[in-house]
Amino acid sequence: MKFVFKPSPNYRTERSTIGIMRDLTICLCAVVLFSAVYHGTAFGFSYGLRVVLMSAVSVIAALATEAVYFKIMGSKDIVKDLRHSFGWVTALILTLITRLDVTYYALAVATAICIVFGKLVFGGFGQNIFNPAAFGEAIIMNSFAAHKAAQVTADVYTGATPMAAMDSYGWIMSSDKFGEFVQQFGGLGNMFLGQYPSVIGGSCAALLLLCGAYMLWKKDIDWHLSVFYLISVFCMSLIVGLIKGAGIWYAVFNILGGGVLFGAVFMMTDPVTTPITIPGRMIFAFGCAALTLILRWKSNLPDGVLFSILLMNMLTPAIDKLVDGNQIKNAGIIRRKVIISSAFAVAVCMAVGLTIEGKEPAPAAPAGGSAEVTPLGALQEEDLSSAKAACTESSNDGKTAVYACEAFGFEGTNKADVTVDLKKNEIVSVKVTEFNDTEGIGDAAVTEEALKAYKGVTLEGNVDDASAATPATMTKKALRAMVQKALLMATGQEAAAPAKPPLSEEKLKGYHGECTAESTDGDITVYACKATGFSGGTNEAKVTVDTAKGTVTDIEITVFADDGDDVGDDAADADKLERYIGASLDSSIDNLSGATKTTGSFKAMVRAALEAAGADEIPEGGSAASAGTIGNEAFSLSQKCTESSNDGSTAVYACSAKGYAGTNEAEITVDLKEGKITAMEITTFADDGDNVGDDLNSAEKLGAYVGATLQSAINETGGATMTADSFKAMAAEALKAAAGN
């Protein structure tokens, strides 16, 4: 047995720093758990999981950083050093004071930086000047402000946080207004329970107080700083609130909202960065409270707590020095110093507080869908473009119209039939036909009950959706976008599906319809039309056109070459043909999904019929006359033609001419007797890829050259002059060659 010598005392409390950190870790984990459950239930499991994953990422980053640092510093026992450095506490606190939409990457980098530059370079645990977690959050706020997971922002932070919302009112409002204001967070009671989105761990006042009480009971933390901080924040905001005509609620809001409670429980109780004596802690508390309120009132920061702590951290050594010495013998001096410095802090804060003025919030500018403040603004004002809504009128009986709409929601495109009362210009019903958003979240927005909310919605009003902050935001947004689009169409403010051009301008590549009038009965003319179809055959139809109105009254497919192809078949069904009835050159006709080519063929016929009907009324050579004849136009496009065949009556010329991007080549057939072009086919199209020129390389446009003589004028198509000139040059050259024959 050995007698050991040790200086007195040889008796120690069982409480230890390691125990403090264990209790602190328990409390932090409880807050993480609460946050995970809250976000998981309110926004979906993936968000609950995200809370846990973010904590894990931060803790791992912290431990890895410290391990590397200790390794570099030549540590003999890295595990022990890690245990005594308590990096995970910093990581957890940092996670809890960040927002859920901070990316994992940003969080990990900020953790590493704050561990190294906030703690380790000062000498490690116990030596750091700044609260490392606050340091890390400052890095996130300043360096990763734009580094957000957009989807999380859009889903979780739909409404303004209490701090931002209050800020938009200039940090003061009358007590009657407040009741309404605080409703967006479910009232003060709800704020106490933390059922609103805030930073990850900052919202539940009840839980934070519980954690504080637990750590006080375990004698882990000193109450002076936190309690004086809370009291002074409360009292100073109460005084300002009372003077400015707000009520007691103002002080309560200042305590419950933002990071005040979290800071008081988890950050100001970090003794490393706060003064060591009780008088010092009182000065710190008053200073911190004053700075918190001043920063809230006057700065652009979302909240003042974080930076007030960092600023006061900086003063900690000075405060320690200020109240040094024997606390009994210097009691008088120390008391005086505490009173003077606290009074100074309070006076400055009060002076600033008296200058605050209430204001009306600026209209919410929904940037990335992040700031829709309830109630929603007028639907017509709302920017819902991100949902990419599109509607087509599927029926219209004059009184009501049904629009088949689609819009992008959270995960996919949702479709709905929106019925609009055309007289009142309001929504009759919304029926979701296809739902592709997240099961379990988004589908709450598309239940019959939920969809009733859209009944009666007008462009001037909006959906009575007071719960913009609740889940399924994106799905709701898609619904609103569809409703908006349908209403805009119904009121004629927007044409149907802008993506679809009217029939007259539609590109029907490869389908050239030809019609000949078969019979005419007054305004009603029946055209026999034909056009190539899908399988290369020619479809034929009888199209009846009301020439007066310029609309199709009937269509009958007489020869259906695309038969045998199941899909195309469909297009020829009587009920599918109804789509063409009532069509004019201005209407746009949907391609029938899966039978595009057949539809194209039909459309070509319909258009040809309509054009033929319209052509009767347009005097020939009208506007076209103004252009010079191709024979007279001087082209210097190195155009040339070589005769490739000649049977005496017709000759085929292989021509070439410079276009916009290169040399185009064409095979032009000329009727040698009449000196006119009977066919023109582009064999090499060098202007391809140029969207403008493309247009001209179509059977339809080339049709313009059929029948052309040197005396014809060919209308230039605006915007594709070079290509058109190239074509015209070839045509002219071929005709000249034919004439020379």
Asked whether the beta carbons of 285 and 225 are under 8 A apart, the reply is yes
Q: Is residue 126 a contact residue for other proteins (CB under 8 A)?
A: yes
Chain length of the chain:
741
Per rule CB under 8 A, is residue 84 in the interface with other proteins?
yes
Residue 1 touches other proteins, criterion: CB under 8 A: yes
Query: Would you say 326 or 626 has its CB closer to other proteins?
Result: 326
Task: Single out the residue of 161, 184, 277, 539 in contact with other proteins (rule: CB under 8 A).
Answer: 277
Residues 6+ apart with CB under 8 A from 578: none
Contact 123, 161 (CB under 8 A): no
Task: Decide whether 2 or 423 has the Cβ nearer to other proteins.
Answer: 2
Q: Which stretch binds other proteins (CB under 8 A): 4-12, 209-217, 482-490, 728-736?
A: 4-12
Looking up tokens 């459950």 gives 37
Min separation Cβ 76 and other proteins, Å: 15
CB nearer to other proteins: pick between 19 and 510: 19
Map residues 144-173 to x or -, x wherever contact with other proteins holds by CB under 8 A. ------------------------------
76 contributes a contact to other proteins by CB under 8 A: no
Which one, 324 or 443, has the nearer CB to other proteins?
Answer: 324
Q: Is 40 in the site for other proteins (CB under 8 A)?
A: no
564 is an interface residue for other proteins by CB under 8 A: no
What's the alpha-carbon Rg for the chain, to the nearest Å? 39
In angstroms, the CA 156 to CA 311 distance is 30
6 touches other proteins (CB under 8 A): yes
Which residues does 217 contact at the CB level (< 8 Å), separation at least 6?
A: none
Classify the C-alpha dihedral 547-549-550-551 as positive or negative: negative
Say how far apart CA 308 and CA 319 lie, in whole Å: 15
Span of 18-26, 476-484, 684-692, 725-733 interacting with other proteins by CB under 8 A: 18-26
Which of the stretches 125-133, 365-373, 391-399, 427-435 binds other proteins when contact is defined by CB under 8 A?
A: 125-133
- In the block, tokens 């496009």 appear at 637
> CB of 527 within 8 A of CB of 613?
yes
Residue 184 or 277 having the CB closest to other proteins = 277
Angle between the N-to-C axes of helices 17-43 and 45-72, in degrees from 0 to 180, rounded to the nearest 10: 150
> What mask of x and - would describe binding to other proteins in positions 216 to 255, judged by CB under 8 A?
------x---------------------------------
CB 598 within 8 A of CB 591: no
* Of positions 78, 239, 278, 453, contacts other proteins by CB under 8 A: 278
Of residues 80 and 452, the one with the C-beta less far from other proteins: 80
Spatial distance between the Cα atoms of 655 and 646, rounded to a whole number of angstroms: 15
- Shortest Cβ distance from residue 320 to other proteins (Å)? 7
Shortest gap between Cβ of 266 and other proteins (angstroms)? 14
Residue 125 touches other proteins, criterion: CB under 8 A = yes
**For residues 82 and 352, which CB has a smaller minimum distance to other proteins in the complex?**
82
For other proteins, which is the closer residue by CB, 283 or 488? 283
Q: What letter does residue 441 receive in the DSSP assignment?
A: T
The DSSP letter of residue 541 is E
Does residue 551 belong to the site contacting other proteins (CB under 8 A)?
A: no
Please report whether residue 13 would count as binding other proteins according to CB under 8 A.
yes
Q: Binding mask 320-349 vs other proteins (x if CB under 8 A, - otherwise)?
A: x---xxxxxx-x--xx--x-----------
Out of 92, 100, 272, 319, the only residue in the binding site for other proteins (CB under 8 A) is 272
The CA–CA distances, whole Å, from 284 to 211, 272, 276, 501 equal 22, 13, 10, 70
Nearest of 478, 483, 432 to residue 461 by alpha carbon: 483
Rank residues 8 and 385 by Cβ distance to other proteins and give the closer one: 8
Q: Which stretch binds other proteins (CB under 8 A): 17-25, 182-190, 301-309, 453-461?
A: 17-25
**Closest separation between CB of residue 335 and other proteins, Å?**
6
Nearest Cα to 672, choosing from 628, 736, 733? 736
Tokens of 472: 């399924």
> Can you tell me which of 61, 169, 234, 281 binds other proteins, judged by CB under 8 A?
281
CB of 275 to other proteins, least distance (A): 8
Part of the chain binding other proteins (CB under 8 A), chosen from 270-278, 380-388, 453-461, 663-671: 270-278
74 binds other proteins (CB under 8 A): no
- Residue 141 in the binding site for other proteins (CB under 8 A): no
Cα–Cα distances (Å) from 673 to 667, 706, 741, in that order, read 18, 15, 10
Sign of the four-CA dihedral 100, 103, 108, 109: negative
Q: Which letter does DSSP use for residue 361 in this model?
A: P
Q: Residue 341 CB, nearest distance to other proteins (Å)?
A: 13
Q: Please give the Cα distance from 291 to 288 (Å, whole number).
A: 5
Residue 668, φ and ψ in degrees, nearest 5 = -115, 125
CB of 114 to other proteins, least distance (A): 18
Q: 482 with 406: CB under 8 angstroms?
A: yes
Report the nearest approach of other proteins to the CB of residue 132 (Å). Answer: 13
Minimum CB–partner distance for residue 328 and other proteins (Å):
4
Number of residues that bind other proteins (CB under 8 A): 46
Phi-psi region of 74 (alpha: psi -120 to 50; beta: other; left: phi over 0): left
Burial-class residue 328 by CB neighbours within 10 Å (0-12, 13-18, 19+).
exposed
CB–CB of 200/100 below 8 Å?
yes
Shortest spacing between CB 345 and other proteins, in angstroms: 17
Tell me how far, at minimum, the Cβ of 26 lies from other proteins, in Å: 16
11 lines the binding site for other proteins (CB under 8 A): yes
Round to whole Å and give the CA distance between 724 and 693.
8
Work out the burial of residue 656: count CB atoms within 10 Å of its CB; fewer than 13 is exposed, 13-18 middle, 19 or more buried: buried
681 three-state secondary structure: strand
Which residues of the shown chain bind other proteins in the complex (CB under 8 A)? Answer: 1-13, 15-20, 84, 124-127, 222, 271-272, 274-279, 281-282, 320, 324-329, 331, 334-335, 338
